[in-house]
Amino acid sequence: MCSPQESGMTALSARMLTRSRSLGPGAGLRGCREEPGPLRRREAAAEARKSHSPVKRPRKAQRLRVAYEGSDSEKGEGAEPLKVPVWEPQDWQQQLVNIRAMRNKKDAPVDHLGTEHCYDSSAPPKVRRYQVLLSLMLSSQTKDQVTAGAMQRLRARGLTVDSILQTDDATLGKLIYPVGFWRSKVKYIKQTSAILQQHYGGDIPASVAELVALPGVGPKMAHLAMAVAWGTVSGIAVDTHVHRIANRLRWTKKATKSPEETRAALEEWLPRELWHEINGLLVGFGQQTCLPVRPRCHTCLNQALCPAAQGL
User: Are both 216 and 124 inside the same structural domain?
Assistant: yes
User: Are both 254 and 285 inside the same structural domain?
Assistant: yes
Domain containing 138 — which CATH number? Answer: 1.10.340.30
Kindly state the average pLDDT of the residues 188-199: 98
Picking from 215, 230, 245, the residue at the C-terminal end of a domain is: 230
User: Are both 223 and 249 inside the same structural domain?
Assistant: no
User: Are both 180 and 260 inside the same structural domain?
Assistant: no
Active-site positions? 220
User: Are both 211 and 156 inside the same structural domain?
Assistant: yes
Predicted local distance difference test score (pLDDT) of residue 46: 57
Would the pLDDT of 53 be above 70?
no
d(CA 195, CA 205): 10
pTM confidence score: 0.73
Over residues 100-120, the pLDDT tens digits come to 999 999 999 999 999 999 999
User: Are both 130 and 211 inside the same structural domain?
Assistant: yes
User: Are both 219 and 285 inside the same structural domain?
Assistant: no
Would the pLDDT of 125 be above 70?
yes
d(CA 266, CA 262): 6
Contact 189, 137 (CB under 8 A): yes
Torsion of CA 275, 279, 281, 283, to 10 degrees: 160
Question: Is 271 part of a structural domain of the chain?
Answer: yes
Question: Is 242 part of a structural domain of the chain?
Answer: yes
What amino acid is encoded at 283 in this protein?
V
Picking from 230, 257, 278, the residue at the C-terminal end of a domain is: 230
CA angle 167, 221, 159 (to 5 degrees): 25
Surface-to-core class of residue 255, CB atoms within 10 Å of its CB (0-12 exposed, 13-18 middle, 19+ buried)? exposed
Number of structural domains (the chain) is 2
Contact 228, 132 (CB under 8 A): yes
User: Are both 243 and 294 inside the same structural domain?
Assistant: yes
pLDDT confidence bin for 30, thresholds 50/70/90: very low
Question: Is 145 part of a structural domain of the chain?
Answer: yes
pLDDT confidence bin for 310, thresholds 50/70/90: confident
270 Cβ neighbours under 8 A, 6+ residues apart: 236, 251, 278
Q: Which of 48-52, 237-241, 295-299 has the lowest mean pLDDT?
A: 48-52
The full DSSP string for 135-169 is HHHHHTTS-HHHHHHHHHHHHHT--SHHHHHTS-H
Over residues 246-281, the pLDDT tens digits come to 999 999 999 999 999 999 999 999 999 999 999 999
Question: Is 251 part of a structural domain of the chain?
Answer: yes
User: Are both 122 and 268 inside the same structural domain?
Assistant: no
d(CA 135, CA 118): 7
Domain containing 272 — which CATH number? Answer: 1.10.1670.10
Going 174 to 176 to 177 to 182, the CA torsion angle's sign is: negative
User: Are both 131 and 222 inside the same structural domain?
Assistant: yes
Contact 188, 140 (CB under 8 A): no
Range of the domain at 153: 118-230
User: Are both 208 and 261 inside the same structural domain?
Assistant: no
208 Cβ neighbours under 8 A, 6+ residues apart: 219, 222, 223, 226, 234, 235
User: Are both 122 and 263 inside the same structural domain?
Assistant: no
Question: Is 25 part of a structural domain of the chain?
Answer: no
Picking from 230, 255, 270, the residue at the C-terminal end of a domain is: 230
- Cβ neighbours around 216 below 10 Å, total: 21
Predicted local distance difference test score (pLDDT) of residue 179: 98
Predicted local distance difference test score (pLDDT) of residue 226: 98
Contact 184, 198 (CB under 8 A): no
Question: Is 247 part of a structural domain of the chain?
Answer: yes
- In sequence order, what E strands does 216-270 have? none
Question: Is 274 part of a structural domain of the chain?
Answer: yes
